[in-house]
Copies of this chain bind each other. A is one copy, B any other.
Amino acid sequence: MKKNINIAIVGLGQIGIYLYNELKSKKNEIEKKTGKKIKIVAISAKNKNKKRKYPIQKNIFFKKPLEIFKNKKIDILFECIGLSNGISRKIVETALKKRIHVITPNKALISKHGDSLAKLAEQNNVNLEFEASVAGGIPILRTIKEGLATNRINKVYGILNGTTNYILSEMENSNENFDKVLQKAQKLGYAEPGNPKLDLNGFDAFAKVRILSALSFNTKISKYNCIMEGIENIKLEDIKIASQLGLRVKLLGISQIINGKLFETVHPCLVSKKTYIGNVNGVMNAVITEGKPVGESILQGEGAGPGPTSSSLLSDLLSILRGNIKHPFGISSKKRKSVKPFNNDNYTNSLYLRFEVNDKQGVLSLITNRLTKYKISVKRIIQTPDKKNKKATIVIITHKTNEKNAKNCLSIFRGNKNILKFPTLIRLYN
């Protein structure tokens, strides 16, 4: 690699502008560590004159990002727009075809088009790096690709979304309901002010699960339908009851190989307050890998925000500047296998069920009879009467049962006049 390296940044949102400033201020340090002189020769965003956190050099600004390729000689491009398709995909593809290395924190793009983009990078002998796409500042992808390279990983899971983890922690701490805490998260910059949906409904975590699976198991990125649930339906009441039971609600992303088949999921889980994962609170992310021979490894760190993300983007940059040409997913695209999906119906867990019922004779036995019919045995039952309104809350913790059975069993409660709402279901993490 030559000594002088030209860099372009496309997208100057929260991440892009922070990165721009970091690259400028760490030029000398980067030269010291790699022997390479970097220069930002092009930047691009929608609006040249928008007020930004750091001032930009307007003479290298391009309104249309694709113009950069015509006007500048670029060696490394940062894609910081963040779309799963459209201009993000176009720019990355164009860059790779022009033998320009690409670095991106864009999990939506990688989880959707990672396979074809990786192939393109390999064909053109350049790097496609996306450490920042999963778990912000935690170098988890590098750890799986390099640090744990010869381990046979059979499971990878964790808390992959800082926004939802903050909301769940804060609901417990402040005793405030979901909507109030979401507003707080938006004020603090943890949740998107406009549309926090992709964080809340589990989509963001799920994209990360897909990337982690591909790296951990050396497989193609899966496209299967999976169980994806967010935290929108978690009520303060559930958090309080869980707390009394020594449990905490966490949105976990889980990927594992079960009997040679791939199982990926994102859903709220009840975990013991005594476990490690039960104590990862606030905006923290944590990723746990189980492998042989290494055993269980844990990485924890700040999972969101421009600081941690930028740390990962720069680690990718240094890796490229040091001349490490690598397969984007650790091994050659040709060698990455497809894998069959595990049947979601067979996913087995203990369940937390909360029923809101009319406090009438026979309601409890209606519920327990129905559970018995489906061979779902009860581990614990807590009935709390609301005398004034002649209602009651019944919480049941069941022994293990599978998804299909649980779904069939609960279906009946949708129409019953004494069951006031369809029961809330949260899986216990085992």
Contacts and interface: CB of A to CB of B under 8 A. Distances in A.
Interface of A: 18, 22, 26, 29-30, 32-33, 131, 137-139, 142-143, 146-151, 276, 279, 286, 291-302, 306-308, 310-312, 314-315, 317-319, 322-324, 326, 330-331, 335
Contacts of A299: 297-300
B318 A33 contact: no
Contacts of A293: 18, 22, 137, 306-308, 310-311
Given A294-B307, A295-B308, 10 more contacts: A26-B150, A29-B150, A33-B149, A139-B147, A139-B148, A142-B147, A143-B147, A146-B315, A151-B311, A297-B302
A240 to B, nearest CB: 20
Contacts of A310: 293
13 contacts: A22-B293, A32-B335, A33-B150, A33-B330, A139-B143, A146-B318, A148-B315, A294-B301, A295-B307, A295-B308, A297-B300, A297-B301, A322-B324
A127 to B, nearest CB: 12
Nearest to A312: B147
Contact of A322 (B22, B148, B326): B326
A29 B152 CA distance: 10
Given A147-B143, A279-B276, A137 B297 contact: yes
Nearest first, the 6 A-B pairs at minimum CB distance are: A139-B147, A293-B307, A298-B300, A294-B311, A137-B294, A297-B301
A117 to B, nearest CB: 20
Nearest to A291: B311
A302 B294 contact: yes
A345 to B, nearest CB: 33
Contacts of A139: 143, 146-148
Contact of A298 (B291, B301, B323, B331): B301
A14 to B, nearest CB: 13
Contacts of A33: 149-150, 330-331
A204 to B, nearest CB: 20
A295 B293 CA distance: 30
A283 to B, nearest CB: 9
A296 B301 contact: yes
A331 B33 CA distance: 5
B315 A138 contact: no
Contacts of A323: 324
A302 B295 contact: yes
Contacts of A151: 311
Most buried by B among A301, A314, A317: A301
A295 B281 CA distance: 15
A151 to B, nearest CB: 5
A170 to B, nearest CB: 18
Nearest to A317: B150
Given A300-B300, A335-B32, A149 B318 contact: yes
A148 B307 CA distance: 12
A300 B295 CA distance: 11
A292 B307 contact: yes
Contacts of A30: 150
Most buried by B among A131, A310, A315: A315
Most buried by B among A26, A322, A323, A335: A322
A292 B131 CA distance: 17
A413 B428 CA distance: 55
A296 B292 contact: no
A18 B295 CA distance: 15
B294 A150 contact: no
A294 B284 CA distance: 12
Nearest to A30: B150
A289 to B, nearest CB: 9
Contacts of A32: 331, 335
A310 B291 CA distance: 12
